[in-house]
């Protein structure tokens, strides 16, 4: 076996070890209790394209708050509020839209002209120019709460009038699913 082959194998072992360590330690990020407001009814927009981009659906998270948030009466009867033990990253993912970056050719003529002006100004000032990322929303939320167990438990949106039924429980990421 040549020295080059030994070096490549050694690097591969190191990469595998580091990636394994990443997966072990990423789940050990500090967690805390958050209160999560979950949609119990779907919003609908007659325009299908706009509906996907802007309408929250049953199971989508409207907002994530720190533990012991003071919810209004309207919020308490409109959304299912769950206590969840999450990392900060997980808490942010729950209310994040699924987006994609737009290519330069997809931008409007006005936006392309603005980029050209900013690039020219940066060159004149002797600084680097990094254009701002422009994104398009594909769906309003990339992740959702799997409502199957709640529905099987007999939960109905109208039950919220009597109070929040699951505040005694603390859930974790296992009830979250990524939308397809």
- The pLDDT tens digits of the residues spanning 53-74 come to 999 999 999 999 998 999 999 9
Structure tokens at 129: 């120019």
Same domain for 122 and 39: no
Q: Which domain holds residue 64?
A: 30-96+140-178
> Does residue 7 form part of some domain?
no
Contact 59, 147 (CB under 8 A): yes
Is pLDDT of 12 > 70?
no
pLDDT, residue 9, reads 61
Same domain for 131 and 52: no
- Model confidence pTM above 0.75: no
Higher pLDDT, 28 or 43: 43
> Does residue 41 form part of some domain?
yes
Same domain for 74 and 63: yes
Domains identified in the chain, total number: 2
> Does residue 78 form part of some domain?
yes
pLDDT, residue 59, reads 97
**Residue 96 gets which letter from DSSP?**
P
pLDDT, residue 99, reads 94
Is pLDDT of 47 > 70?
yes
Using CA atoms, how far apart are residues 20 and 30, in angstroms rounded to an integer? 19
Same domain for 160 and 103: no
pLDDT, one tens digit per residue, over 84-131 is 999 999 999 999 999 999 888 888 899 889 888 999 999 999 999 888
pLDDT, residue 51, reads 95
**How many beta carbons lie within 10 A of that of residue 94, not counting itself?**
24
Structure tokens at 73: 């009466």
Using CA atoms, how far apart are residues 32 and 41, in angstroms rounded to an integer? 27
pLDDT, one tens digit per residue, over 121-167 is 999 999 998 888 889 999 999 999 999 999 999 999 999 999 999 99
Same domain for 111 and 61: no
pLDDT, residue 108, reads 87
Q: In percent, how much of the chain has pLDDT > 70? A: 84
> Does residue 152 form part of some domain?
yes
Same domain for 92 and 164: yes
């Amino acid at each position: 076996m040549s020295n080059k082959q030994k070096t490549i194998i050694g690097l591969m072992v190191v990469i595998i070890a580091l990636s394994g360590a990443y997966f072990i330690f990423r789940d050990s990020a500090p967690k805390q209790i958050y209160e999560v407001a979950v949609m119990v009814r779907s919003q609908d927009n007659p325009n299908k394209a706009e509906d996907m981009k802007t309408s929250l659906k049953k199971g989508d998270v409207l907002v994530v708050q720190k533990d012991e948030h003071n919810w209004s009466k309207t919020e308490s009867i409109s959304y299912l509020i769950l206590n969840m033990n999450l990392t900060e990253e997980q808490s942010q993912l729950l209310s994040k839209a699924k987006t994609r970056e737009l290519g330069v050719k997809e931008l409007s003529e006005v936006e392309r002209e603005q980029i050209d002006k900013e690039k020219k100004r940066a060159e004149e000032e002797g600084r680097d120019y990094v254009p701002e990322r422009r994104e398009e929303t594909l769906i309003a939320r990339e992740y959702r709460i799997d409502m199957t167990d709640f529905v099987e438990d007999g939960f109905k949106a109208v039950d919220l009038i009597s109070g929040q039924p699951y505040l005694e429980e603390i859930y974790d990421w296992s009830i979250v699913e990524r939308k397809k």
